Structure 1
Amino acid sequence: MTRPSYPAARRADVSDVLHGTPVPDPYRWLEEPASAEVADWLAAQAKLFGEAELAGRERFRGRVAELLKSGSIGVPAWRGERRFFMRRTPEQEHSVLYVVDADGAERALLDPMALDPSGLTTLDTWQPDKEGRLLAYQISVGGDEESKLYVMDVGTGEIVEGPIDRCRYSPVAWLPGGERFYYVRRLAPELVPQDEEQYHRRVYLHTVGASPDDDVLIFGEGLEKTNYYGVSVSRDGSWLTISASRGTAPRNDLWLADLREGDIAAPALVTVQEGVDAQTGLHFGRDGRLYVFTDRDAPRARVCVTTPDRPGYESWRDLLPEDPEAVLSDYAILDDLDEPIMLAGWTRHAISEITIHRLETGERIGSVPTPGIGTIGGISERPEGGHEAWFGYTDNTTPPTIQRFDARTGETTLWAASPGTVDVPPVKTEHLVYPSADGAEVHLLVISPVDRDGPRPTILNGYGGFGISMTPGYSASVLSWVEAGGVYAIAQLRGGGEQGEEWHRDGMLANKQNTFRDFEAAAEFLIAEGVTTPEMLGISGGSNGGLLVGAALTRRPDLFAAVVCSAPLLDMIRYEKFGLGATWNVEYGSADDPEEFGWLWAYSPYHHVKEGVDYPATLFTVFASDTRVHPLHAWKTAAALQHATSGERPILLRNEAEAGHGARAVSKSVELAADQLAFFATHLGLKL
């Protein structure tokens, strides 16, 4: 291997002094993507990546594409006489929204490729009205996630509203009749300070067909600029719920209003919780009870009951108490039975299960049969009640399916499968436990060939942030890697949600380095167990997982041979200034605060690149339209590593245009996966 000739990157004498600490930033000029200097540097990086020899790229491209021909299927949403669901057939670039009418006839309602044959338009979210006659949906272009909202007449397909802009991440809460809805929209750019256009959300009441300029402001004036708002209206239209959380904080304030009394344009909001360090949501039962889903005094979550006229904490009574081991994730009520029941979805060490309980008392009376040891997503019932529930299911070798549970018979049957037929390779999945540096028990999923023997090239993946759980699921990339002879491991690190909210908080803010220690301990465990060796071990992560592998790369470069770091946060001193960074200071801390600066400064990967270190082969993959995590994090750190590394292993940058942080066309996913797997194969010694 010969050391690459890296593009010239000017090292500027730029430094800040924060809380008495000098903070050098020699590549700050890379924060200006519109400059000619940055454009030239990116072009040179693209040339370098294009010339890289990546073993097996064509093989991986073909196999990932083939395994993605499984397609996908989504859980149905029932409204009136219609049901709505998403499905992607083997040849489709994007999932399509379908509707099934009262007569059983199915038709495509929204096809992103019909809207834009280039494949750059994505369907971000959708919400039918309560009667199933109108559909609010949001689309964005090129991966920027800047959703525009439209309303469609479901019967005719006619667009009756839109576009309404500034609706990124907006919930839509329809009132009965489909004439009005509550929703969330950002203020116009000219009304907010410069560089704050991504913030300043408000809750509005909108009348279909009227100008959004005439929307009625309902909530949000004068509150925290980074607040996200949730809004919902009960099935019968009687109750409005509004929640507010500062950025991605694991807590929310919560209010409700009785819409039967007073003006829907000026609802009389009653506080359910405010200033409480907990997350809580409400469901208004058809039986008149108020169901409270909360992690207040219950890090693994519980369901309480009260009545809408007494919504405060002092009136809550446990229905489903906190489980000492499993995390409560979802529930559904089936009441068209002699004895109404509640279905409760749980994850036990990230493996899903559903239990059955008497609705009146919460007593457990059974469990729902599930297809295997995997992940259940979204238990759905008919809004008007019934005896059936639907839920998604997937595992490491099973493409998404929809299962139907009939409470009258107690049976679970396959309702709908992903439409494609694929040859899934046989793999072995092990659920292991290992000790972290402080003795904490961490769980690890290891997917490998059935006949695994001796150490093999291994990819270790993790996330460890925002309370997000790493659960089993069908992955064309993982299966392609394991089929080729490699091992793929997924660590359930602190910072995630696999063990509940306490597990999350043990890996955030001042505790963030627990996440990194858990990840490094996973690597050491895999090596000690003979699964792999440092020369055959690679690490992979994206977004917050990109921060994870960036920290591991700079903390323990001796432990890994290759790194794929995707859409990462890496400059943790300036991250709040770009993208949606200011909404994450509740997860990481802020450099403006002296104590929190200390946390960030202790691990910020960009600032911990040291000259003269033989760094692992590293591939940064970033996306030009990413409005969540700006590509500058990877640009600056790639430049720093190319300057600093003493070895011959390459530091490469893959900068993709017209793609963003989230949804993308299948063909773009195939190309990205092929490049990442081929990079690992080349530098971990996978024999193809």
Structure 2
Amino acid sequence: MYRHALVAIACLMTSTTALAQTIAYPQTRTVDQVDEQFGVKVADPYRWLENDVRNDPQVAAWVAAENKVTDAYLATLPGRDIFKQRLTKLFDYERFGVPNREGGRYFYSRNSGLQNQSVLYVRDSLNGQGRVLIDPNGWSKDGATALAEWAPSKDGKRLLYSIQDGGSDWRKLRVLDVDTGKVLDDQIDWVKYGLSASWVKDGSGFYYARFPTPEKGQEFQSQNLNAKVYFHRLGTPQSADRLIYERPDQPRFTFYPGITDDGRWLVISTSGPGDHTEITVLDLTKPNDRPRTIVNTDNVDWNTVGSKDSTLYLTTTQGAPRLRIVTLDMAAANPQPKELVAEDKAVLNGASLVGGRIMAAYLVDAKTEVKRFTLDGKPDGTIELPGIGTVGGVGGELDNNEGFFAFSSFATPTTIYRYDVATRQVTPWATPKVAFDPAQYDVRQRFYTSKDGTKVPMFIVKRKDVTKPAPTLLYAYGGFNVPILPGFSPGRIAWLEQGGVLAVANIRGGSEYGKEWHDGGKLLNKQNVFDDFIAAGEDLIAQGVTGKGQLAIQGGSNGGLLVGAVVNQRPDLFAAALPAVGVMDMLRFDRFTAGRYWVDDYGVPAKEADFRNLLTYSPYHNVKAGVTYPAILATTADTDDRVVPGHTFKYTAMLQSKDIGPKPHLVRIETRAGHGSGKPTDKVIEETADLWAFIAKWTGLAVKPVN
């Protein structure tokens, strides 16, 4: 509704320069807001743009005004319609999710191609006829209400699922009778961050974590505090749910309950400030068992893999920066970690228990290898993969030889494979048919040198016939221990087939090389992330992959921060920039919704050392007048309640207030869309067409129709 609202604003001027149209940006009012910390005065003239667009008419008017200017500019780009038409064809292919087998039934998602939301299906046998369980495409007129996470009960008779509206992180939990298709009366509100819920073995109910009901008007702004774990028994109201676990002494702790496959152990993983991790366990075979905390550490990662009898299997960075697998004997009075699979030269990226074996996925220079181990930790071979790419983890159960995994690469659409643990046979289960020829593309990896001498890997993807410097899109993330791995995107194919190049840099801050790689890009080391990204751009030019004036950059969320920071630091290096849903005000990020979780990567703005470091790179505070900036198209959404849109609103207003050259500095604000998940296919296509047309204009990519 904001994109097309009629608001009195200055019109797009028709005069042009040799470089670009002169754009009359909306006049954004300023406020006399100056904060002083540690003797430093920091102006915040656009503080009012932090207000929720749904509750503040002035912010809503500003959004409408900005979108009107942006829409008018994007309408002038010649490649926009070509990209949209081609993207529509590229997205129109059948795709599947990895099936979840419970009670002899196979539950899986499927999208026929251009459906705004994927549909959930069930089969009563492996190769049986699938029937629709849940089709969310009729839930809202705009397609922005999504089926988010889901989990079948162990007997396959019930399905717990979550509803995501308008891209919000908030979820409503509902329960479906699989046989009849009837939605039961059970409803759980104020759940967040995925399906933090798990069925008990007999299907009588489930454990879940939730936050308190927020104050009216603060649902999408207030901090997420005071989480609790409850048990819900089917057929009862949420008000009757039994409180299982809470930590009133630690309101910033967040809980993730899960039940092991055998149904015996309720494992509550706790995350808290300072990279604090706790693991608390209840034995569900004992009716009156009390929660027992068996792990309590700072700055050490722990993840539960599964269990067998009284043995828990976990991965940890304790004594192993690249992770190892350990066991805990829950029969002991004081369980202590016992090493099962030692740390490898490669980084352990996840493990599962399937068919009496441990399936361990390792990262080797950001590419996946899957190794097998016996339950006593002995090597047992590898899984033969179809090529160089990324495996999404082998899913299955300890007592069943059948497992499934997804495999994809930059030019290889995601294919679902079935794996037989006993015979070691890998067979395709769902193979997509796409409207392009993957054989026409070349994927290579090279290593470049960052400012401090660190070698950093980078993937380069392009058509095989592109041999000269070409317009290039450089992407990275660089934070929160998240690896950026080879993966398929039909949207990126639309860029590549026009002769553009895609470069993906595995900069520090992620987990591509374990804990040390993450630590090297967080807190007071955050500048390494920006240096790595800048060095990637310089290397692409030096190696002749792209030329001066042909380099565009893109990143989302923490990657949006990355783009905003490096544009301020090296505006001369880039022709265009696409910061998406970025964290742009580094002095106030921890005051909203999920921002409090990010202090472990960014630091605490109220601490002097962190404050001074954050101020050096905060995108909002470091826009430099008198310097020519690249063309910028920032993107956000009105219902993003993870990185609230005020970050991008304030950043855009600051850009537009400064003398930073004649290139456009615009913002595209989507409605009824959040941080990214659940976004309807038609909105993804529209947005991607706008982004590619924008950077094509400013990198000199000639866009032509594709047959």
Fold conserved (TM > 0.5)? yes
Deviation at 1:329, TM superposition (A): 2.0
Which of residues 330, 334, 345 in structure 1 aligns to 2:355?
Answer: 334
Instruction: Output aligned runs, 1:26-105, within 5 Å.
Output: 26-32=45-51, 33=53, 34-52=55-73, 53-102=76-125, 104-105=128-129
Partner of 1:167: 191
- Aligned-pair distance for 1:488? 0.8
Does residue 660 of structure 1 match 2:686? no
Residue of structure 1 equivalent to 2:174: 150
Instruction: Return closer, same or farther for 1:413/1:3 CA change in 2, 3 Å cut-off.
Output: same
Distance of 1:241 and 1:480 partners within structure 2:
44
SS in 1 for 2:461: strand
Counterpart-to-counterpart distance in 1, 2:213 and 2:411: 46
Superposed CA offset, 1:19-46 (max 9, x none): 1101011222222334444333322222
Q: CA deviation at 1:611?
A: 1.5
Q: Secondary structure at the match of 1:98?
A: strand
What does 1:580-599 align with in structure 2 at a 5 Å threshold? 580-599=594-613
Give TM-score scaled by structure 2 length.
0.92
Q: Distance in 2 between matches of 1:326 and 1:236?
A: 28
2:446 maps to 432
Shift of 1:6: 1.7
Question: What is the CA distance between 1:238 and its match in structure 2?
Answer: 2.1
Cα-to-partner distance string for 1:87-131 (whole Å, 9 max, x where unaligned): 111232211111112593421111111333531111111111111
Query: Which of residues 292, 302, 315 in structure 1 aligns to 2:314?
Result: 292
Tell me the amino acid that sits aligned with residue 435 of structure 2: V
| Distance change >3 Å, CA 548–CA 47, structure 1 → 2 | same
1:127 lines up with 2:127 in the alignment: no
* Cα contact 1:79–1:382 (8 A) shared by 2: no
The question of 1:367 aligning with 2:367 is answered: no
**Which residue identity lines up with residue 81 of structure 1 in the other structure?**
G
Shift of 1:226: 2.9
- Residue 245 of structure 1 contacts residue 252 of structure 1 at CA under 8 Å; is this kept in 2? yes
Q: Equivalent of 1:444, from 458, 474, 494?
A: 458
1:238 and 2:264 matched: yes
Please point out which of 348, 366, 369 is paired with 1:353: 369
Given that residues 459 and 537 in structure 1 are in contact (C-alpha distance below 8 angstroms), is that contact kept between their aligned partners in structure 2? yes
- Report if aligned partners of 2:187, 2:238 keep a CA contact under 8 Å in 1: no
Letter paired with 1:401: T
**Structure 1 position 193, deviation (Å):** 10
TM-aligned CA deviation for residue 187 of structure 1: 1.4
Change (3 A) 1:421 1:190: closer
**C-alpha distance 508-413 of structure 1, shift in aligned 2 (>3 A):** same
SS in 1 for 2:617: coil
Paired with 1:192 and 1:5, the residues of 2 have a C-alpha distance of 33
Instruction: State the match for 2:139 in structure 1.
Output: 115
Closer/same/farther in 2, CA of residues 183 and 645 from structure 1, 3 Å limit: same
Instruction: String of CA shifts for 1:532-570, please: whole Å, max 9, x gaps.
Output: 123111111111100000001111111111111111111
Counterpart pick for 2:410 among 390, 396, 409: 396
- Residues 298 and 5 from structure 1, CA distance in 2 versus in 1: closer, same or farther, beyond 3 angstroms? same
Which residue of the partner structure matches residue 15 of structure 2? Answer: none
Amino acid at match of 2:652: A
Distance 1:41 1:283 in 2: 48
User: In terms of mean alpha carbon deviation, does 24-33 or 295-304 score higher?
Assistant: 24-33
For 1:639, give the aligned amino acid. A
Q: Give CA-to-partner distance per residue, 1:492-547, whole Å, 9 cap, x none.
A: 11111111122112111111111111000101111111111231111111111000
Q: Tell me, yes or no, if the aligned pair for 1:231 and 1:243 is still in contact at 8 Å.
A: yes
SS in structure 1 of the partner of residue 24 of structure 2:
coil
Task: Map Cα deviations across residues 288-310 of structure 1 (whole Å, 9 max, x no partner).
Answer: 53322222111211112342213
CA distance in 1, matches of 2:26, 2:407: 47
Are the aligned partners of 1:55 and 1:681 in contact in 2 as well (CA < 8 Å)?
no
| Structure 2, unaligned runs of 5 or more | 1-19
Computed over aligned residues only, the root mean square deviation of the Cα atoms, in angstroms, reads 2.1
Give the Cα separation in 1 of the matches to 2:129 and 2:59.
54
Report Cα offsets for 1:52-72 as digits up to 9, x if no partner: 122311111122221112232
Is 1:203 matched with 2:203?
no
Question: Given that residues 190 and 210 in structure 2 are in contact (C-alpha distance below 8 angstroms), is that contact kept between their aligned partners in structure 1?
Answer: yes
After superposition, the Cα gap between the structure-2 partners of 1:629 and 1:447, relative to the gap in structure 1 and judged at 3 Å, is same
> Residue in 1 aligned with 2:5?
none
Please list the CA deviations of residues 126-159 of structure 1 after superposition, one character each: whole Å capped at 9, or x if unmatched.
1111111111111021112321010111111111
- Contact (CA 8 Å) 2:146, 2:165: kept in 1 or not? yes
Q: How does 1:191-590 map to 2 (within 5 A)?
A: 196=222, 198-246=224-272, 250-263=275-288, 267-286=289-308, 288-310=310-332, 314=336, 316-335=337-356, 341-360=357-376, 362-382=377-397, 385-418=399-432, 420-424=433-437, 426-590=440-604
Contact 2:354 2:421 in 1 (8 A): no
Q: Cα–Cα, structure 1 residues 499 and 251, in superposed 2: closer, same or farther, change >3 Å?
A: farther
- Aligned partner of 1:338 in structure 2 is none
| Separation (CA, whole Å) in 1 of partners of 2:364 and 2:491 | 25
**Alignment length, in residue pairs?**
675
Tell me whether 47-56 or 606-615 shows the greater mean CA deviation: 47-56
Report if the CA contact (8 A) 1:615-1:645 is conserved. no
Letter of the structure 1 residue corresponding to residue 27 of structure 2: A
In structure 2, how many angstroms separate the alpha carbons of the residues matched to 1:423 and 1:634? 35
Cα 1:193–1:477, aligned 2, differ >3 Å: closer, same or farther? closer
Q: Is the 8 A contact 1:543 1:566 kept in 2?
A: yes
Residue 131 of structure 1 aligns with an amino acid whose one-letter code is: D
**In the TM superposition, what is the alpha-carbon distance from 1:674 to its structure 2 partner?**
0.4
Equivalent-residue separation in structure 1 for 2:506 and 2:180 (angstroms): 47
**d(CA) in 2 for partners of 1:369, 1:84:** 25
- 8 Å Cα contact 2:91-2:114 kept in structure 1: no
1:302·1:318 contact (CA, 8 Å) conserved in 2?
yes
CA 1:311 to 1:659, structure 2 compared with 1: closer, same or farther past 3 Å? farther
Deviation, 1:84, is 0.9
Correspondence for 1:21 among 40, 44, 65: 40
Going from structure 1 to structure 2, the CA distance change for 1:382 and 1:564 (only over 3 Å counts) comes to same
Q: Aligned equivalents of 2:607 and 2:298: distance in 1?
A: 22
Would the alpha carbon gap of residues 36 and 91 (structure 1) be closer, same or farther in structure 2, given more than 3 Å must change? closer
Going from structure 1 to structure 2, the CA distance change for 1:124 and 1:654 (only over 3 Å counts) comes to same
Q: Which amino acid aligns with 2:391?
A: I
Aligned residue for 2:393, secondary structure, equals: strand
Residue 620 of structure 2 corresponds to residue 601 of structure 1: no
Cα distance change, pair 91–191 in 1 and its aligned pair in 2 (3 A): closer
Q: Give, in angstroms, the shift of residue 325 of structure 1.
A: 2.8
Aligned partner of 1:675 in structure 2 is 690
TM-score of the superposed pair, with normalisation by structure 1? 0.94
SS state at 2:673 partner: coil
TM-aligned CA distance change 1:261 to 1:38, over 3 Å: closer
The 2-side partners of 1:36 and 1:255 are apart by 46
Structure 2 CA distance for aligned equivalents of residues 325 and 364 of structure 1: 15
What is the percentage of aligned positions where both structures have the same residue? Answer: 37
